[in-house]
């Protein structure tokens, strides 16, 4: 029996593959689109049974080629570019593809654990998994919102586990292929290596520069939550995947810079010292982003807590230190 991981060459997908390998699982069908061929690097150190382009996989699935051979589908594949404007592509790739997988899994009695997104909350300042707080601001968020709505409508008909995980700001290893959409930590480390400086956006919506806050979550925790649900197939639902503790981009910058400095044998600096020394600079927003920018996100973890998930999430400082060290060691 195979575990299928879509988006297997992406950040969360490839970390899932690697974590399953560490648990002795290698009967994995990796599904992705390697048109951006550099993504293959995320799978070089992974052990998989086979690779399928996502379009070929959809055809094979509908033809019944894998009937009785799949034990679970972990659906991480999606176009996550919030600036993408091709609505036809987004809706087919993110929404219709997910619908196809849901129908197959329910027909076969196979668990489906899929990537939802905190982008569903959009302009809301309440981050509870309930429709009154869901206000997507872009077509990416809408594609995820629409699929969550379909999942909700079909709860009564489920023959197997269905779990949607609303990822907040995930950072961590194996994200270089994302380019501009890679995490702020990734870009700060690369900037620091090249210029000795890092950059954040200036203030927005009455919030001071760098004081916009996000729920930054390590990919380690995103993977752990996926695998917990894989091991607890009696539990279904749509859940936030975040630490539940919003932190500022300035906090993120301080943690990143000080981890880089520590590898150079330099002492830690405060935010004020970092700014005074010109290590942190604030830049203007790209055109079209400011009006859709969220100044605050923080996962409400109440549903996960009620479910009994008690694995502690890494703190910002712990997660950033692990990731920055990984990036520096990977050079």
Topology annotation, domain 176-213+247-295+320-330: UDP-galactose 4-epimerase; domain 1 (3.90.25)
CB 19 within 8 A of CB 223: yes
| Centroid of chain to Cα 77 | 10
Could you tell me what percent of the chain has a pLDDT over 70? 99
Helices 219-231, 316-330: crossing angle, 10 deg rounding:
110
Of 95, 104, 114, 140, the active-site residue reads: 140
Catalytic residue, from 178, 197, 292, 322: name it: 178
Q: Taking a C-beta distance cutoff of 8 angstroms, is the pair 291, 152 a contact?
A: no
Residues 6+ apart with CB under 8 A from 29: 2, 3, 4, 5, 48, 49, 50, 51, 52, 57, 66, 70
> What gap in Å lies between CA 289 and CA 38, rounded to an integer?
27
User: Is 39 a known active-site residue?
Assistant: no
pLDDT in tens, 246-300: 999 999 999 999 999 999 999 999 999 999 999 999 999 988 788 778 899 999 9
Q: Where are the domains of the chain?
A: 2-171+216-244+298-313, 176-213+247-295+320-330
pLDDT at 83: 67
Q: Which CATH class is domain 2-171+216-244+298-313?
A: alpha beta
User: In the prediction, which pLDDT does 277 show?
Assistant: 97
| pLDDT score for 330 | 86
Give the Cα separation of 9 and 17 in Å (integer).
9
pLDDT: which is higher, 112 or 37:
112
Residue 168 reports pLDDT greater than 90: yes
140 is catalytic: yes
Range in 75-79, 112-116, 166-170 with the lowest mean pLDDT: 75-79
pLDDT-wise least confident of 4-8, 156-160, 289-293: 289-293
The answer on pLDDT for 143 being more than 70 is yes
Q: How far apart are CA 322 and CA 220, in angstroms?
A: 10
**pLDDT, greater one: 188 or 292:** 188
């Amino acid at each position: 029996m195979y575990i299928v991981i879509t988006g297997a060459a992406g950040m969360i997908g490839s970390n899932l593959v690697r974590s399953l390998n560490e648990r002795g699982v290698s009967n994995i069908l990796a599904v992705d689109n390697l048109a951006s061929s550099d993504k293959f690097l995320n799978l070089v150190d992974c052990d998989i049974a086979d690779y399928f382009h996502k379009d070929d996989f959809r055809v094979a699935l509908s033809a019944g080629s894998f009937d009785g051979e799949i034990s679970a589908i972990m659906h991480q594949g999606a176009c996550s570019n919030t600036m993408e404007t091709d609505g036809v592509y987004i809706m087919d790739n993110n929404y219709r593809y997910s619908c196809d997988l849901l129908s197959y899994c329910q027909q076969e009695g196979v668990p489906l654990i899929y990537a939802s997104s905190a982008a569903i909350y959009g302009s809301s300042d309440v981050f509870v998994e309930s429709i009154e707080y869901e206000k997507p601001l872009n077509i990416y968020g809408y594609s995820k919102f629409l699929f969550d709505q379909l999942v909700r409508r079909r709860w009564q008909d489920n023959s197997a586990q269905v779990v949607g995980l609303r990822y907040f700001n995930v950072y961590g290893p194996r994200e270089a292929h994302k380019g501009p959409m890679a995490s702020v930590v990734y870009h700060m480390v690369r900037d620091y290596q090249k210029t000795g400086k890092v950059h954040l956006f200036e203030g927005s919506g009455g919030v001071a520069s760098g004081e916009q806050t996000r729920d930054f979550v390590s990919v380690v925790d995103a993977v752990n939550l996926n695998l917990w649900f894989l091991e607890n197939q009696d539990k279904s639902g749509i859940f936030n995947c975040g630490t539940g503790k919003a932190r500022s981009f300035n906090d993120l910058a301080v943690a990143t810079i000080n981890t880089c400095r520590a590898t150079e044998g330099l002492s830690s600096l405060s935010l004020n010292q970092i700014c005074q020394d010109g290590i942190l600079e604030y830049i203007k927003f790209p055109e079209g982003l400011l009006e859709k920018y969220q100044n605050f996100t923080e996962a409400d973890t109440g549903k996960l807590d009620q479910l009994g998930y008690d694995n502690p999430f890494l703190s910002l400082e712990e997660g950033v230190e692990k990731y920055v060290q990984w990036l520096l060691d990977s050079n």
